[in-house]
C-alpha cells in the first residue's frame, strides 16, 4: 500500500496520492464530513458507484490522446484493481468500475508511472479538455488544436482557482467550422480561426461560453469572433475565477455557468471577467505549438506483402471509417465500439497492432470510439484484418449506426433505465433494416439512462433518455423520445425537443417509425435536422403518440432491456460516514489547509496561486462562521457580503476596511510578493479569530 511513496518521481503527484490516502482514513474513522470527503474524492477521479462498496474510477486523458505505453498501463491497472473492462466516455476519458476505495491511492500511483492521471477527472473542477479527434490530420482544419487543448489541460491541472467550485466547467476545442467537438454545449468552446493582416497569418479562436446539456440544455453564446491565441488561457482563467466567486453553491441544480450567465446576462458577465484580469498571473500566455510532440510516422509495409480480405466488407469499412489525412500518403481510421466498451485483452492486442502498422498513439473520441492515425496506405488492408479479429472493424464509425450511450443502470447511481441495453437493440435494428446509414454522419442517435444527458441525448437528431411510467400499481420502464437536435456549424447547434414518452420495449418500433417517415417524406439530400424543423414538433408527436399507449401492455413490458427482474426505480446505495460530523469545524480545518497551501505557493514564488489559496481560506472561514449562525451560503459573493452584515464590528476581526473591500483586493492588486504576504497575514489572523469565536460559542452552549 505504501510503495508509491518511493516509486513515484513526481513529488507533487506523490503528495496528492498520500493526501487521498489520508482523507480516506479520516473519512472511515468518522473524522471527515461526508460532503467534504466526496468533494475531495471526486476531484481525484473516484466516483461512487451504484453497487455498494465499490467505486468508478475515471482516468483523465486530455483530448483523448493516449500513447501505447499508457494504454498498456491502463490495461494492467484494470486487470489488477478492477474487472478487466474499460469504458470510453463522451469526454474522451476512460472509466473502470468495481474498484475498492481503499485501493484507489495505489491504483493512481500505478497509472502515474506512465503519466496518466485521475486528478480532476470528476468533481467541481475543470473537467477533461476535449477536442476534435482528427485534430492534426484533418484536411480542412484551420490548424492543429492539440497543442492548445494540451496547454489548457496543463494550466488548470491542480490550479487553485478550480479545485472546489460550485460545479464543473467543461472546455472543448474544434479544428474547424464543422465543430466536431460540439463547442456549443460547453462552458467554454474554442473554434480554430486564422486572420491575415499585412500578409501575415495570425492564429486565434472563435469563443463561445455558457452552453450545457443536463436536464435544462442551453446553447452557448458567442463572446469573441476572433480571440488571439495568446489570450485564450488568460480569458479562461478570468472566466473560471468569476464562476468560482459568483456561481451558485447551495442549489446544485442551478450551479452551472449557464445559469449564472442567464441570471446576470452576457454583458455583465464579460464585465466581471474584465475585472479579474489584473489579478491574473499572465496577461498573455504564449503556447508554443511548434514544440508540440507529433505522432511517429511508420514506414509502409513492403509492396510484396499480400493480404486477402473480403472485398465487399473491406469497402464498407474503408468508405465509412477511413479518412485521408492532410499528410500525403497517410490515413486515419475511426474505430467503432458498442457503447464504448472493450476489454484489457483487446487493448493489449490493439497496442501491438498499432505499433506495427500506425502511429504509437490513439485518440479516444466523443463518439465513444477511437482514432488510429498515420496509417500508410499499404498498411490498411492488414490493419483491417487485424482489427476484424478483435471485433474492431465494424463499419459506420461516427455514423447513425454508432449509437452513443452512457452506462445507465449498469453502474450509475442516477440511472433510471438500461441505456446500454437500448443502444444494443437500436444498433441491431440499424444493422438489419437500415444498412446504408453507416454512411450517414449527420443523423446521430444518443441515449442517456436519465435526464442528465451524459449520453448527450439533448443534442441528438434522435435522442432517448431513461424514464418510468406508473401503470396502476406497477412501474413501467420507459424512454423519453427527443428529436431535432444536432450541430449546425461554427459554434451553433440545436437542442432537441421532447416529443413523447413510450414504454422501453417499443424503442425499436419508434426508431423504425422515425426513419421510415424520414425516408418517405424528406426532400432529396435534406438532413434530418432540417426535415424535423420543416415538419415541426406537432407532426412528430402525432406520428409517435400511438406508441405511448399503455392499454395493450404484456407482462414482459415491465422488465427492462437486459434484465430478468421486474423494473423498479431506485438509485444505488451511496456512501455514508456513519456518524454526525461538525461541519463548521471541518470548514475551519480546511481553511488552515488552504493557508498551508498558500504558504507553500509563496515559498515557491507562485504568488498568484498563493493569493488565490488565501482568498479561498478567507471565504471558507467566513462561510464557517455564517453556517454556525444558520445562515445560507449560496455563492462566494453572497458569503463575502453577508459576513459584513453579520459582523459589522471591524475591530472584532481587526479589519481596517470592510470584509468585502479587504477580500476583493485580489481584483485590484497585481499578484506581487508584497501583496501575497499582506493578504496571507490578514487571513491568518481571521482564521485564528474564527477559531477563538468558535470556542467561545461552544463554551456558551455548554
Per-residue pLDDT reduced to its tens digit, 575-598 = 322 233 456 777 888 889 899 999
Residue whose C-alpha cell is 473591500: 661
Cell of 246: 459568483
4-112 CATH fold: Sulfite Reductase Hemoprotein; domain 2 (3.90.480)
Angle separating helix axes 104-112 and 11-28, nearest 10 degrees: 170
In the block, which residue shows the cell 449520453?
455
Q: What are phi and psi of 678, to 5 degrees?
A: -70, -40
Q: What's the rounded Cα separation, in Å, for the pair 59 and 48? A: 14
Identify which of 57, 42, 126 has the alpha carbon closest to the alpha carbon of residue 89: 57
> For the chain, what's the residue count?
702
| DSSP character string of 580-599 | ---HHHHHHHHHHHHHHHHH
Q: What pLDDT, on the 0 to 100 scale, is given for residue 410?
A: 74
| 15 C-beta neighbours (distance < 10 Å), count | 13
- Give backbone dihedrals phi and psi of 548, rounded to 5 degrees, phi first: -85, -10
* Cell representation of residue 479: 424512454
Domain spans, the chain: 4-112, 130-291, 311-390, 404-558, 583-701
Phi, psi of 85 (to 5 degrees): -120, 145
Q: At what angle do helices 507-521 and 528-535 cross, to 10 degrees?
A: 90
∠ CA 123-182-208 to the nearest 5 degrees? 85
* Torsion sign (Cα): 15, 87, 170, 136: positive
- Quick one: pLDDT at residue 697? 67
Residues of the chain falling short of pLDDT 50: 1-6, 571-581, 702
Residue 569 has a CB neighbour count (10 Å cut-off) of 14
- Alpha carbon distance 416, 360 (integer Å): 39
**What is the homologous superfamily of the domain 583-701 according to CATH?**
Nucleotidyltransferases  domain 2 (1.20.120.330)
Query: Residue 458 gets which letter from DSSP?
Result: G
pLDDT of residue 658: 87
Give the whole-angstrom CA distance, residue 442 versus residue 440. 6
Helix (H, G, I), strand (E, B), or coil: what is residue 467?
strand
CB 502 within 8 A of CB 509: no
Per-residue pLDDT tens over the stretch 626-642: 888 888 788 899 999 99
Distance CA 685, CA 662 (A): 13
| Alpha carbon of residue 39 to chain centroid | 16
Cβ-based neighbours of 106, under 8 Å, separated by 6 or more: 1, 3, 4, 81
Cell numbers representing residue 359 in the block = 502511429
Three cell numbers written together for 192: 480554430
Non-local (6+) Cβ contacts of 26 within 8 A are 32, 37
The CA-CA-CA angle for residues 662, 668, 671, to 5°, reads 100
**pLDDT at position 3:** 46
DSSP designation for 402:
S
Q: Pick one of 3.30.360.10, 3.30.70.3340, 3.40.50.620, 3.30.750.210 as the CATH number of 311-390.
A: 3.30.70.3340
* Cβ pair 145, 190 in contact under 8 A: yes
> Which of 609, 610, 626, 634 has its CA nearest to residue 683?
610
Backbone angles phi, psi at 224, to 5 degrees: -145, 130
Residue 643 has, within 13 A of its CA and on its CB side, a CA count of: 29
Phi, psi of 204 (to 5 degrees): -165, -165
DSSP conformational letter for 530: H
DSSP SS3 for 375: strand
130-291 CATH pick, 1.20.1090.10, 3.20.20.70, 3.40.47.10, 3.30.413.10 = 3.30.413.10
The residue to which cell 513529488 is assigned: 11
Element (H, E) at 314: helix 311-321
CB 123 within 8 A of CB 157: no
Place of cell 507529433: 294
Name the strand (E) or helix (H) holding 225: strand 221-228
CB 446 within 8 A of CB 457: yes
What is the DSSP secondary structure assignment for residue 212, as one 8-state letter?
B
Same fold, 404-558 and 583-701: no
- Helices marked H in 476-582: 507-521, 528-535, 537-544
CATH of domain 404-558: 3.30.413.10
- Concatenate the DSSP letters of all residues of 231-266 into one string: GHHHHHHHHHHHHHHHS--S-GGG-SHHHHHHHH-H
Supply angle C-alpha 198, 201, 202, rounded to 5: 110
637 and 245 in contact (C-beta within 8 Å)?
yes
Q: Name the one residue in this structure whose C-alpha cell is 474498484.
A: 99
Strand ranges across the sheet with 85-88? 46-48, 55-59, 94-99, 85-88, 341-343
Compute CA distances 478 → 266, 449, 463, 466, 530, whole Å: 38, 10, 13, 6, 27
Amino acid at each position: 500500500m505504501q510503495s508509491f511513496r518511493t516509486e513515484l518521481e513526481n513529488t507533487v503527484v506523490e503528495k496528492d496520492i498520500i493526501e487521498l490516502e489520508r482523507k480516506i482514513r479520516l473519512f472511515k474513522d468518522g473524522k471527515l464530513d461526508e460532503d467534504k470527503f466526496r468533494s475531495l474524492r471526486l476531484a481525484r477521479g473516484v466516483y461512487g458507484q451504484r453497487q455498494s462498496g465499490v467505486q468508478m474510477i475515471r482516468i483523465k486523458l486530455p483530448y483523448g490522446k493516449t500513447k501505447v505505453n499508457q494504454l498498456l498501463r491502463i490495461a494492467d491497472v484494470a486487470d489488477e484493481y478492477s474487472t478487466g473492462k474499460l469504458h470510453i466516455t463522451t469526454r474522451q476519458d476512460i472509466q473502470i468500475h468495481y474498484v475498492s476505495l481503499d485501493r484507489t491511492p495505489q491504483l493512481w500511483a500505478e497509472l502515474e508511472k506512465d503519466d496518466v492521471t485521475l486528478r480532476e477527472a470528476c468533481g467541481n473542477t475543470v473537467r477533461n479538455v476535449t477536442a476534435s479527434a482528427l485534430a492534426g490530420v484533418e484536411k480542412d482544419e484551420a490548424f492543429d488544436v492539440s497543442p492548445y487543448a494540451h496547454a489548457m489541460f496543463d494550466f488548470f491541472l491542480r490550479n487553485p482557482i478550480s479545485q472546489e467550485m460550485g460545479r464543473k466547467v467543461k472546455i472543448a476545442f474544434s479544428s474547424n467550422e464543422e465543430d466536431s467537438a460540439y463547442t456549443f454545449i460547453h462552458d467554454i468552446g474554442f473554434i480554430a480561426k486564422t486572420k491575415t493582416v499585412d500578409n501575415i497569418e495570425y492564429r486565434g479562436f472563435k469563443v463561445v461560453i455558457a452552453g450545457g446539456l443536463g436536464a435544462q440544455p442551453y446553447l452557448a453564446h458567442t463572446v469573441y469572433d476572433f480571440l488571439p491565441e495568446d489570450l485564450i488561457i488568460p480569458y479562461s482563467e478570468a472566466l473560471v475565477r468569476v464562476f468560482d466567486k459568483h456561481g451558485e453553491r447551495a442549489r446544485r441544480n442551478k450551479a452551472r455557468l449557464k445559469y449564472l450567465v442567464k441570471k446576470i446576462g452576457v454583458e455583465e458577465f464579460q464585465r466581471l471577467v474584465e475585472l479579474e484580469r489584473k489579478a491574473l498571473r499572465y496577461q498573455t500566455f504564449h503556447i508554443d505549438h511548434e514544440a508540440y510532440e507529433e505522432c511517429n510516422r511508420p514506414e509502409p509495409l513492403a509492396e510484396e506483402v499480400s493480404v486477402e480480405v473480403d472485398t465487399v466488407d473491406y469497402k464498407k469499412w474503408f468508405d465509412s471509417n477511413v479518412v485521408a489525412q492532410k499528410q500525403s500518403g497517410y490515413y486515419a481510421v475511426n474505430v467503432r465500439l458498442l457503447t464504448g466498451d472493450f476489454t484489457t485483452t483487446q487493448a493489449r492486442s490493439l497496442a501491438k497492432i498499432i505499433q506495427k502498422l500506425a502511429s504509437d498513439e490513439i485518440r479516444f473520441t466523443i463518439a465513444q470510439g477511437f482514432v488510429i492515425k498515420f496509417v500508410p496506405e499499404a498498411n490498411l488492408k492488414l490493419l483491417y484484418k487485424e482489427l476484424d479479429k478483435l471485433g474492431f472493424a465494424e463499419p459506420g464509425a461516427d455514423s447513425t449506426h454508432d449509437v452513443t450511450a452512457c452506462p445507465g443502470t449498469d453502474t450509475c447511481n442516477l440511472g433510471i433505465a438500461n441505456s446500454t441495453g437500448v443502444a444494443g437493440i437500436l444498433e441491431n435494428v440499424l444493422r438489419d433494416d437500415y444498412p446504408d446509414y453507416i454512411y450517414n454522419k449527420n443523423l446521430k442517435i444518443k441515449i442517456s439512462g436519465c435526464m442528465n444527458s451524459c449520453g448527450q441525448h439533448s443534442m441528438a437528431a434522435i435522442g432517448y433518455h431513461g424514464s418510468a411510467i406508473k401503470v396502476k400499481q406497477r412501474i413501467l420502464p420507459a424512454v423519453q423520445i427527443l428529436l431535432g437536435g444536432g450541430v449546425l456549424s461554427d459554434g451553433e447547434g440545436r437542442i432537441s425537443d421532447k416529443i413523447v414518452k413510450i414504454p422501453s420495449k417499443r424503442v425499436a418500433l419508434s426508431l423504425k417509425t422515425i426513419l421510415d417517415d424520414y425516408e418517405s417524406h424528406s426532400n432529396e439530400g435534406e438532413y434530418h435536422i432540417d426535415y424535423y424543423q420543416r415538419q415541426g414538433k406537432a407532426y412528430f408527436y402525432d406520428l409517435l403518440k400511438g406508441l405511448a399507449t399503455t392499454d395493450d401492455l404484456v407482462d414482459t413490458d415491465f422488465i427492462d432491456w437486459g434484465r430478468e427482474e421486474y423494473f423498479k426505480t431506485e438509485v444505488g446505495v451511496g456512501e455514508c460516514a456513519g456518524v454526525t460530523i461538525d461541519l463548521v469545524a471541518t470548514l475551519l480545518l480546511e481553511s488552515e489547509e488552504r493557508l498551508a497551501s498558500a504558504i507553500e505557493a509563496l515559498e515557491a514564488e507562485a504568488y498568484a496561486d498563493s493569493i488565490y489559496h488565501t482568498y479561498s481560506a478567507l471565504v471558507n472561514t467566513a462561510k464557517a462562521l455564517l453556517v454556525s449562525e444558520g445562515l445560507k451560503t449560496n455563492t462566494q459573493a453572497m458569503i463575502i457580503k453577508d459576513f459584513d452584515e453579520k459582523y459589522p464590528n471591524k475591530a472584532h476581526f481587526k479589519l481596517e476596511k470592510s470584509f468585502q473591500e479587504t477580500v476583493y483586493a485580489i481584483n485590484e492588486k497585481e499578484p506581487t510578493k508584497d501583496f501575497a504576504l499582506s493578504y496571507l497575514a490578514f487571513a491568518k489572523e481571521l482564521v485564528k479569530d474564527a477559531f477563538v469565536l468558535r470556542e467561545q460559542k461552544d463554551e456558551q452552549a455548554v
